[in-house]
Structure 1
Amino acid sequence: MKIIDLRSDTVTLPTDDMRQAMFNAVLGDDVFHEDPTVNKLEELSAELMGKEAALLVASGTMANLVAVLTHCARGEEVILGNEAHIFRNEAGGMAALGGIHPHIIPNQPDGTLRLEDIEGAIRGKNEHWPRTRLICLENTHNSCYGAPLTPEYTNSVAELARRHKLRIHLDGARIFNAAVALKKEPTEFTRNVDSVSFCLSKGLAAPIGSMLCGSKEFIAEARRTRKIVGGGMRQAGIIAAPGILAIKKMRERLEEDHINARRLAEGIAKIPGLSIEIDRIKTNIVYFDLIDKRLNPDALVTRLNEKGIKFLRTGAFRFRMVTHYGILPEHIDSALNALKEVMAQNV
């Protein structure tokens, strides 16, 4: 049985070229700055994001954690959205390991934070309050239907931050999806942020790794923070080699994932018993809901799994499917046919 895995774009497998690059990678000790393949990846990543320097880390969660711990001291505060991946899905790392306080404000449906909400969350000078230090944005926004944040919006937040002498970290795990969706260069999203992370192992299909980019001074300190959280790696060129191919060869094909997501969303919209906000599908993430609350959402997932279709339940009656490298239009059609068949049986 063919397995069609739509749980996440993290399930992508490396290309044959990536596997060969791992085998052939020239290696050294990265903790001593002596792995030439890592150095090359970091140089390419910094240039791609329009920053002075970059750092290879093991995961997106580590990239964001290292960024927040580097920007903030213990007891300081970060403003971020209630739907932010950093807040919801990263194990409370900033609080657990950094003693850093999250100040949560509402995400809008398009993934943005209202400027007035951000400004209202900034603490004044009062010894009773934590000091506001950092604003975190997410682009594309996972929990908000993969919404891409525009450069204009990001720049408006940056202007606000500068007025209040705050820093901005951009969780850009899927920033290349935003760039493709809005037909912009990555630097247009990152020009005015202090740091940005992006993932190599989601839509870009590398097996492991994320990049953290910023100024030379910031990355030098982030390298120390990475060591503190156990992230110093030695012959990491075997990770960096497929990462180089990922950012060179896999970015433009993300458009295929967006087209497939639209195909999937349009198909779901035609299935009785399901609802979807189709106009919100801008990139590769598709959320939809079970209308009849008498039906069993777990049974829907189980029945589809039995037919080789994997996806996630993300809420009481909400589900998520994500398109990615390795998913073809015919796989989308197979998933839709299976979903239609199971829904016709009233799960």
Structure 2
Amino acid sequence: MTDHKWIDLRSDTVTRPTPAMRRAMAEAEVGDDVYGEDPTVNRLERRVAELLGTEAALFVPSGTMANQIAIGLHAGPGDELICDSRAHVYVWEAGGIARHWGVQARTINPHGGLIGLDHLRDKIQPDNEHYVRTRLVCLENTHNRAGGRVHPFESVCAISEWARAHGLALHLDGARLMNAVVASGVPAAEWASRFDTVSVCFSKGLGAPVGSAIAGPAELIRRAHRLRKALGGGMRQAGVIAAGALFAIEHHIDRLADDHAHAQVIADAVERAPGLSLESGPVETNLVWITVDPEAGTARQVADRLRESGVLVSALGPQTLRAVTHLDVSREQCERAAEAILRVAEGLAARAG
């Protein structure tokens, strides 16, 4: 682990390749992936399909592209997808649902942020020319904006059975699926088997510098190649970055448990800090969403004070902060960050009092 000036908890995307990962990338055998000739990319795609128990997988530059390709596979103009109102596909993908595919999003705002079957039963539009056609349900696991929570597996199974019975496609935004795997003990292939397509991200908790994948049936992934090209995602000697993703899969999944334990250190400090609280209740994985009481100040003020203490967090709303643990922050650094959170909160509370 590299010791940097900052304890950077803004996101698990800030991780840097480990020395061993850099060696794997430097030594990667490469070819032209658009021609299907990059052996390292091909090996990664086979490994992802094996891990998720799917027929095929496709390497893409980003999680956003993986999700957008999935939407394009399952829906088109005049169609509708259903998702949580705070889902990544709806909030943080630059309007791609409408921009790329002409698809309408119907959002649900469930208590706690996790969609259950009861939220969906009456959401299919009538088969009538006046209405859009309900075609797709998107779930996110772990759910970033719901505090990094893991969808209960039984709930996912119930939604899957309902969707299939009603002819709906089901896509999983699994950017942090491996966090859900480690936290729940449910294998990745078990999660994936409940969906038509699954995206996974290598550049978050797994620590690779670039890349995601979309996985599913071979015919869908064949079509996904065409959509990847249309979105500008065709890469050439991409084995250099695919090697980092392969290394991450082989070496960085089990260690996600450390990130989850470190997040508890941060969460415990938040619970003790005056003027701060956990937005989504108990922390389950590596994401800690924090609400700042207006009487204590704003999220920006807290983030600025923490920065003065060498701790970086994200202010993602007037009263909302996020801290994310990852492989580039040690337990000792998280303990120092926790001390800084308490110190800053107590200082702001004293001033407010």
Could you say whether these structures have the same fold, taking a TM-score greater than 0.5 normalized by the shorter chain as the test? yes
CA distance in 1, matches of 2:137, 2:281: 28
CA distance in 1, matches of 2:336, 2:127: 58
Cα shift at 1:296: 3.5
1:184 to 171, 183, 186: 186
Runs of 4+ more than 3 Å apart: none
Per the normalisation by structure 1, the TM-score is 0.96
Cα shift at 1:294: 5.7
Cα shift at 1:278: 7.8
Cα shift at 1:119: 2.3
**1:81 and 2:84 equivalent?**
yes
1:70 to 64, 69, 73: 73
Cα shift at 1:54: 0.1
CA distance in 1, matches of 2:236, 2:85: 36
> Quick one: structure 1 residues 89 and 216, their matched pair in 2 at CA, closer, same or farther if it must change by over 3 Å?
same
CA contact (8 A) 1:312 1:320 kept: yes
**1:37 and 2:40 equivalent?**
yes
Structural mapping, 1:157-168, within 5 Å = 157-168=159-170
CA distance in 2, matches of 1:79, 1:115: 12
- Tell me which residue corresponds to 2:319: 317
> Quick one: structure 1 residues 176 and 253, their matched pair in 2 at CA, closer, same or farther if it must change by over 3 Å?
same
Per the normalisation by structure 2, the TM-score is 0.95
- Tell me which residue corresponds to 2:127: 125
- Gap runs ≥5 in structure 1: none
Paired residue secondary structure (1:34): coil
| More displaced stretch, 117-126 vs 213-222 | 117-126
Q: What amino acid maps onto 1:307 in structure 2?
A: S
1:243 to 237, 245, 249: 245
CA distance in 2, matches of 1:66, 1:324: 27
- Tell me which residue corresponds to 1:100: 103
| More displaced stretch, 41-50 vs 280-289 | 280-289
> Quick one: structure 1 residues 309 and 122, their matched pair in 2 at CA, closer, same or farther if it must change by over 3 Å?
same
Cα shift at 1:151: 2.4
CA contact (8 A) 2:299 2:317 kept: no
Q: What amino acid maps onto 1:315 in structure 2?
A: G
Cα shift at 1:277: 5.7
> Quick one: structure 1 residues 143 and 296, their matched pair in 2 at CA, closer, same or farther if it must change by over 3 Å?
closer
- Gap runs ≥5 in structure 2: none
CA contact (8 A) 2:175 2:200 kept: yes
CA distance in 1, matches of 2:99, 2:279: 36
CA distance in 2, matches of 1:25, 1:331: 33
**1:337 and 2:339 equivalent?**
yes
Q: How much identity, in percent, do the aligned residues show?
A: 44
CA distance in 1, matches of 2:334, 2:33: 41
- Tell me which residue corresponds to 1:154: 156
CA distance in 1, matches of 2:122, 2:317: 30
Paired residue secondary structure (1:162): helix
2:234 to 232, 235, 241: 232
Query: What root-mean-square deviation, in Å, do the aligned CA atoms of Structure 1 and Structure 2 show?
Result: 1.4
- Tell me which residue corresponds to 2:310: 308
CA distance in 2, matches of 1:220, 1:84: 26
**1:53 and 2:53 equivalent?**
no
